[in-house]
Structures are given as structure tokens and as C-alpha cells.
Amino acid sequence: DARVTQTPRHKVTEMGQEVTMRCQPILGHNTVFWYRQTMMQGLELLAYFRNRAPLDDSGMPKDRFSAEMPDATLATLKIQPSEPRDSAVYFCASGLVHRGILHSYNEQFFGPGTRLTVL
């Protein structure tokens, strides 16, 4: 049963510390998404990648957040320095997008999330 995995599941850190969250997409998927979920803002798209190249990171605060895909099996989201307002659940999702087709089968598979608390 293929699943998206995320580590760590929970992270508590102090303001100013660096936080790295990792995601392993489903093997064969070519698109990876990072979302943030809070009570106030709901589900926000931070960034996404296609074939490891960043397509859109406009939802991400550029001064402190960075997202990368070092290889096809690993996506990372880094916050440096972290702030209390970054406390949220961060989800990774992966999918397979068929380009050039009018109706993309763009189902996304979500990981279990990383619950981040910045004190």
C-alpha cells in the first residue's frame, strides 16, 4: 500500500531554531506539494514541484522558508529561523500529473503531517 511518509510527526522547538521537515512521495509520482494548515487560515499551499523542479512557491515566506527536492524520493521544507507564528501542521502531498490532457487526473495523496510547535 503506497503512502506518502513525513518525518518528524511532531516537533517542538524554540523560536530562532532551524526546523527541517521531510517527505517521501509515492514512488513514481512526479508532483510534490507542501501545505500548511492552521485553525485561522485553513489549508494553504506553500510550494509545489514537478519532476523535482519548483513550479510555484508564491505561498511561502521567502525570507525564512525554503523547499527543495534533492532527489525523487525526498522533499524537504526548512524554516530558518522559526517563529511562533509558524506553529501549524505541515502536510506533504504527491501526485501524478499527465500533461497535455484536458482533464488532468490530478488526485493528490497526503501524508500524515508534521505538527510543529514553536515556543
Contact string (CB under 8 A) for another protein, positions 61-90, x = contact: ------------------------------
* Binding residue (CB under 8 A) for another protein from 13, 52, 81, 112: 112
Interaction between residue 52 and another protein (CB under 8 A): no
Interaction between residue 25 and another protein (CB under 8 A): no
Q: Tell me the DSSP string of the chain.
A: ----EEE-SEEEE-TT--EEEEEEPPTT--EEEEEEEETTTEEEEEEEEETTEEEE-TTS-TTTEEEEEEETTEEEEEESS--GGG-EEEEEEEE---TT-SS-----EE---EEEEE-
- Total residues contacting another protein by CB under 8 A comes to 28
Q: Which residues bind another protein (CB under 8 A)?
A: 4, 31, 33, 42-43, 45, 48, 50, 55-56, 91, 93, 95, 97, 99, 101-113
